[in-house]
Amino acid sequence: MLERAFFERPPPEVARDLLGHRIRHASPKPAELRIVETEAYLGPDDPGSHATRGRDTQAGQLWATPGQAYVYVCYGVHQMLNVVAHEPGSVGAVLIRAGEPVDGIDVMGERRGTTETDEIASGPGRLAEALDVTREAHEGADLLEGSLRFQEGQPVDSDGVAVTGRIGLSEGEDRLLRFVDASSPHVSRPVPPEAMGETPDVEMRKR
Partner DNA sequence: AATAGGATTTCCT
Partner DNA sequence: GGAAATCCTATTC
Binding site for DNA (CB under 7 A): 39, 41, 48-50, 53-54, 56-59, 62, 70, 72-78, 80, 82, 93, 95, 112-113, 119, 123-127, 135, 166-170, 188
Backbone phi, then psi, for 78, in 5-degree steps? -105, 140
In the complex with DNA, the residue whose CB is nearer, 65 or 197, is: 65
Report the C-alpha dihedral over residues 42, 21, 97, 114, rounded to 10 degrees.
-170
Q: Are 94 and 14 in contact (CB under 8 A)?
A: yes
Cα–Cα distances in Å, from 32 out to 77, 87, 101, 120, 152? 23, 27, 6, 11, 12
State in angstroms the smallest separation of the CB of 126 from DNA. Answer: 4
Q: For DNA, which is the closer residue by CB, 45 or 152?
A: 45
Longest dimension (CA), the chain: 46
- Smallest gap, in angstroms, from Cβ of residue 189 to DNA? 8
Q: How far is the CB of 159 from DNA (least distance, A)?
A: 27
Give me the least distance between CB of 113 and DNA, in Å please: 7
Which residue's CB is nearer to DNA, number 54 or number 197? 54
Which residue from 49, 34, 125 is spatially nearest to 86, judged by alpha carbons? Answer: 49
Residue 67 or 152 with smaller CB distance to DNA: 67
